[in-house]
Structure 1
Amino acid sequence: MDDAGPALERAIDALLDARAPGATICPSEAARAVDPEGWRDLMPQARAAAGRLAQRGEVEVTQRGAVVDVATARGPVRVRRAGR
């Protein structure tokens, strides 16, 4: 899947909409929703999609509970609605 970015952004939104306020998701959940078989290959795009949503102020990307820049974060991150 060449440009899964928009689909990943929609998946992140849908997953967060389905969760309780303040709950988080892993970018891998969005990748799995878009391509259940090839989700691992989508992980860089899933993180980038979370980063774009964070730049627009729609979500926050966290690591160990602290807000981070997904572009520079190393290791696992979580995504939550902004301001939670």
Structure 2
Amino acid sequence: MDPVEAVIFDLLAKVAAGKSISPEDVAKALDEKGWRRELGKVRAVAIGLARAGRLVILRHNKPADPDTFKGVWRMRLPAAEGEEN
């Protein structure tokens, strides 16, 4: 498993169901001092996971298209069957 992917799922496992994490949270967990350099990798991995249905990218707390989103974004696990997105 990719280290970025591992950190994303580790952080998501620590938040309540339906809650999200920021790309900055992931980048800081990877490299506390040079976290800004990690943001591009975090975004690329998150997009891949979202395309595979393993992650939801959020804009304004609503699911966003992983191919077209811009601006401030967050990530959460997909809602289980019967839960609201």
Q: TM-score, normalised by structure 2?
A: 0.85
Mark the structure with the bigger radius of gyration: 2
Aligned mates of 2:35, 2:45 — CA distance in 1 = 14
Listed as ranges, the matches of 1:1-84 within 5 Å are: 6-83=2-79, 84=85
Q: Quote the sequence identity (%).
A: 31
Structural RMSD (CA): 1.6
For residue 12 of structure 1, give the secondary structure of its aligned residue in structure 2. Answer: helix
**CA shift digits 1:27-69 (9 cap, x unpaired):** 1111111111111011111111111111221110010022113
| Gapped regions of structure 2 (runs ≥ 5) | 80-84
For residue 79 of structure 1, give the secondary structure of its aligned residue in structure 2. Answer: strand
Aligned partners of 2:51 and 2:66 also within 8 Å: no
> How many residue pairs were aligned?
80
| Gapped regions of structure 1 (runs ≥ 5) | none
Aligned mates of 1:31, 1:70 — CA distance in 2 = 19
